[in-house]
Amino acid sequence: MNVKRILAIAWKEFIQIKRDPRSLALSLGIPVLLLLIFGFGLSLDIDHVRTIVWNQDPSSKVTRDFLLNFKYSKYFHIIAYTDNYRDIQDKIDSGEAMLAFVIPKDFSRLLESGKAAPLQLIVDGSDANTATIAMNYVNSVIHAYNTQLLTDVLYSRGITPRARVEARPRVWYNMGLVSTWFIVPGVLAMIIMIVSALVTSLCVAREWERGTMEQLISTPVKAPELIIGKFLPYFCIGFLDLTVGVLMAQLLFGVPFRGNYITLIFMSWLFLTGALSQGIYISVVARSQLMASQLASLTTLIPTLLLSGFIYPIFNMPKAIQAITYLVPARYYIIILRELFLKAGGLAVMWDEMLFLLLFAVFMFTCSIKRFQKKVV
């Protein structure tokens, strides 16, 4: 291979990018936009669940004390009190409330007599995941209340509770359980995969559509030199996107970076090479910018969003789908980014992900060169 010819093709591609400022703006603007949308708009934390209360035993101090456990919890926001089911139904149907407590008339009497006191909980189940989390919050508050009641009864009888299990959680890597710290590294992987493949998927197809490929074919430039020359400018843009994304993650979203930057650069180099090579391969096969962009979106956006573990945990997927996720390169890069950002992981714990990214990069780069032929079909 001739280095001068590679640099000439790369310079030609840089000029082409410069002459198309809209594509360049999209290449740099889409990562920022996606980070802002996902970073601020997507949250797995559920706080301030809107709640309506029908207290049929309002005169009792026991009932009021019980409701205070929900009123002063950050997970619940009591928006209204009512005295009928019609209001409950209207507010849940309209989306104003998600939960409703119905406290019966004999609630305090049953508690004071040592019997089980029923509490009706009405939940909007249209969003099953959110409803499940909200019910777990309710059960947690009730469990703490019951434990306190039992402890008070034992103390009132002169009995000191001794034998009990007390969980003392210690959360590693994300002590505040901030979902943004989990989401943003995944967004970075999604951005690099989608933008890299989408932008490079047009580079060869554009030459065929504009009729300039025939001129390149007539030159002494070899197929590997042409592919590498077109690869280099977009590799620089991809690393620029990654740099902007890492800075936004740390400065804007407060995600800590605990790993090694050299490791990040090396792993990103492997992932970028594979993603860009995939885009070039799509461009070589499609020969049409419209078809290339559609194929790039289909083969990168959907797998990365749904099958990479970006949002949905892979271990909860059916076994057949879990097997398919092993073919999604973003799965491995997301693991690497979360290791580097949150756990300070090194190559010793990421060697298998590194190996797959290396194989993916070599495979896609080889396929791109083999598929391109210097002849007019």
What digits encode the pLDDT tens for the residues 51-94?
999 999 888 888 888 898 888 888 899 999 999 999 999 999 88
Instruction: Provide the β-strand partners of residue 70.
Output: none
State mean pLDDT over 157-181: 74
Calculate Rg over the CA atoms of the chain.
29
Q: Is residue 161 part of a domain?
A: no
Q: Is residue 172 part of a domain?
A: no
| Residue among 177, 178, 187, 182 at smallest CA distance from 38 | 187
- Give the whole-number percent of the chain exceeding pLDDT 90: 23
Whether residues 186 and 38 fall in one domain: yes
Q: Is residue 164 part of a domain?
A: no
SS3 breakdown of the chain: % helix, strand, coil, rounded to 5? 65, 5, 25
Whether residues 104 and 224 fall in one domain: no
User: Which of the 8 DSSP states describes residue 79?
Assistant: E
Task: Give residue 56's domain range.
Answer: 49-156
Rounded distance between C-alpha atoms, residue 230 and residue 224, angstroms: 10
Give pTM, 2 decimals.
0.78
Query: Residue 182 has what pLDDT?
Result: 85
pLDDT at 160 over 70: no
Tokens matching residue 323: 């097997």
Tokens matching residue 215: 């001129």
Q: Is residue 170 part of a domain?
A: no
Q: Is residue 162 part of a domain?
A: no
Region of 309 (left: φ > 0; alpha: ψ -120 to 50; beta: rest) is left
Query: Residue 247 has what pLDDT?
Result: 92
99-103 and 120-123: which strand pairing? antiparallel
Rounded distance between C-alpha atoms, residue 344 and residue 258, angstroms: 5
For residue 146, how far is the Cα from the chain centroid? 37
